[in-house]
Amino acid sequence: MTVLQTLAVFVGAPLVIYLVIAASTLLPGRKRRRPQYRPGEPWTLPAQWWAGDQPLAAVDRSLMISGSEGGARGNW
C-alpha cells in the first residue's frame, strides 16, 4: 500500500462522503424555496379555506333568528 493509496482511503474517501452529504442538504432546499408573495402580483395558487373543527360552545339559538351579517372590507 503506497502513501498515495493510504491518503486516498483515509483522507479522500471521508472528504467525498462529507461533500456529498453537505451538497444533498444544501442544494434541494434552495431549489424548492417557496415564492414570496409581493403586492401587485397576480395570485395563481388554488383557493384555500380553513376553519376550526371543534364543536362550538352551546349558544342560545333563539338569538340567531334575527339580524343580518355584519363585517368590514378593505383594499391595499
Q: Could you give the CA distance from residue 16 to residue 22 in angstroms, rounded to a whole number?
A: 10
Site size with other proteins, rule: CB under 8 A: 36
* Interacting positions 3-42 with other proteins (CB under 8 A): 32, 34, 36-42
Of 26 and 58, which CB lies nearer to other proteins in the complex structure? 58
Q: Could you give the CA distance from residue 8 to residue 19 in angstroms, rounded to a whole number?
A: 15
Q: Could you give the CA distance from residue 2 to residue 8 in angstroms, rounded to a whole number?
A: 10
Of 2 and 36, which CB lies nearer to other proteins in the complex structure? 36
56 scored as a contact of other proteins (CB under 8 A): yes
